Chains A and B, each alone.
Chain A
Amino acid sequence: MAEKTTSLRHRDALASRLVQAGFLAAVVLLWYLAATRWGVNRLLLPNPVAVFDDLVDILRTGEYIDDLKVTLGELAAAFSISVTGGVTLGYLISRSPYAIRVFEPLFAAIYSIPIILFLPLFVLFFGLGPASKIALGAAISFFPIAINTIAGFGTVDRLLVTAARSMGASDYRLFRHVLLPAALPVILAGLRMGFTIALLSIIGSETLASLAGLGHRIVHLAEAMEMARMFAYIVFVIAIAAILNAVVSALEARGRWN
């Protein structure tokens, strides 16, 4: 396929955005018609206007703050743990090609099953509080981070290492000026994936077994059949997730040199 010029690519991206916006507008319109004109049960599909009102109310009164704090707190804790563990372990493993051959398939295999399956174990061990969510979030996001760190450090061009050594680079200087910058784009991609999956895992585990947090709030409202408010929170959580992911993607892009 021919390479597109930058302006053509911008135009494509803009067109995609417009289509997506149009799609959302159409969905909202259909939703409105379904709820008001076509007689869909209010217990299943609330009026979008009511949802909007509830959303405004939630934002205005700051009702969301406690749950948001819980969720973001769990996310921050889980991500810190998985970044520290994943990058450190990934670097150590990457130093030996044999270790890479032993551990990398092991990590990939574990990561291929839905680790959220183990949530009940974490709840049994840590209880229904934030600790179980943090532990699960850290456990799940560890893998893409470690796998990418191994790949990043493991595929540094050997010639660059040889050249640096020939110029007298010490171990520390080699790491700081050659290994780290070379591996950084891949590691950052891993961090972005780890962040996204940590967020999803935490919201998921709050949905399954929690006493607080945004996931739990949605479940609570569902059980109380407060449909409009639940929809409002769903919109809110999707927006928060989108914003966080956009920020993380932007940060990743800044770290790329290739």
Chain B
Amino acid sequence: MGDGMATAAAAIRVRGVSHRFGEEGEQRFVRALADTSLDVARGELMCLIGPSGCGKSTLLNVIGGLMAPSSGGVEVLGKAVAGPLPHDIAFVFQESALFPWNTVIENIELGMTFQGVAKAARAERAGRALEAVGLGEFAQHYPAQLSGGMRQRAALARALSLETPILLMDEPFGALDEQTRMILGEDLSVLLARSGRTIVFVTHSLGEAVFLADRVAVFSARPGTVKQVIAVDEPHPRKPEFVTSTKFTALRNQLYGLLHDEIRKAVLGLGEAARGEAGPA
């Protein structure tokens, strides 16, 4: 078992991040995160897992510069985070954030336009990203014409085309069925092995966390903090057989043990979760 800290080559450094929504005494007051610290090494896939409302998504937004924390700070690649970092960080959200009025390839090229990529380079990079996720034939389709799994692939392609060293993924496969999740998980593992990007991946699924992650950070119930970090020592790309191995099962059981009490706490509404109101976690 490790703690949250890695060695000097950390891509992401989270230090003492706490976050509150609303003011104390207001109805919508929620303490989402409490003094969270974490390091993510370069080229590693770190999973954040924990009960509902424990602040995992909030932490992801803070890391990505979409939200300023109430206290504490984040360093990404040596820089303090004070806003979005489009050249360093790309997001994949749970619901497809593809623009419905554009085709798939237009969506990807638009992402690059926002980032500031030169016009001449966009088409080629977009094409490559689509091939990487297996959607080469669907470039001219509109998001509404694609299945949920394909839409998330397209969203992933858009993130990849931005060629950022870091990828932040907020339950990207959460809305998909089990089988699609398995396939996409395997494909993601392959991509990771090839590209060497640093990925922070929020998930609810124990199996997904063990299959994908190099390390898994387990969160406590709200207000969330890192309870423990578990290492999964298995090289990428991970084979489907890994899922049935004893190592996998042992790790999954270990995660279950750590999470079970926290989930109970969250569901029964003990502690801060009693307030019942959603922070956008």
Residues of A within 8 A of B (CB): 159-160, 162-170, 173, 177-178, 181-182, 184, 257-258
Contact = CB atoms under 8 A, between A and B. Distances in A.
Contacts, number: 55
Nearest to B92: A163
Q: Which 6 A-B pairs have the closest CB atoms?
A: A168-B86, A163-B97, A257-B101, A167-B114, A169-B114, A181-B101
B100 interface: yes
Chain B: interface secondary structure?
loop
B93 interface: yes
B116 to A, nearest CB: 6
Contacts of A167: 84, 86, 90, 111, 114-115, 162
B113 interface: yes
Nearest to B102: A181
Contacts of B89: 166
B151 to A, nearest CB: 13
Interface of B: 64-66, 84, 86-87, 89-91, 93, 95, 97, 99-102, 110-111, 113-116, 144, 162
B116 A177 contact: no
Contact of A168 (B66, B93, B115): B115
Contacts of A177: 99, 110, 113-114
Contacts of A257: 100-101
Contacts of A178: 99
Contacts of A163: 91, 93, 97
A162 B114 contact: no
Contacts of B64: 166
A184 to B, nearest CB: 8
B66 A166 contact: yes
A254 to B, nearest CB: 13
Nearest to A258: B100
Contacts of A168: 84, 86-87, 114-116
A160 B99 contact: yes
Nearest to B65: A166
Contacts of B102: 181
Nearest to B158: A167
A160 B97 contact: yes
B90 A166 contact: yes
A177 B115 CA distance: 13
20 contacts: A159-B97, A162-B93, A163-B91, A163-B97, A165-B66, A166-B66, A166-B84, A167-B86, A167-B162, A168-B114, A168-B115, A168-B116, A169-B114, A170-B114, A181-B99, A181-B101, A182-B99, A184-B101, A258-B100, A258-B101
A182 B99 CA distance: 8
A16 to B, nearest CB: 28
B86 A162 contact: no
Contacts of B116: 168
Contacts of B91: 163, 166
A164 B114 contact: yes
A257 B89 CA distance: 30
Nearest to B89: A166
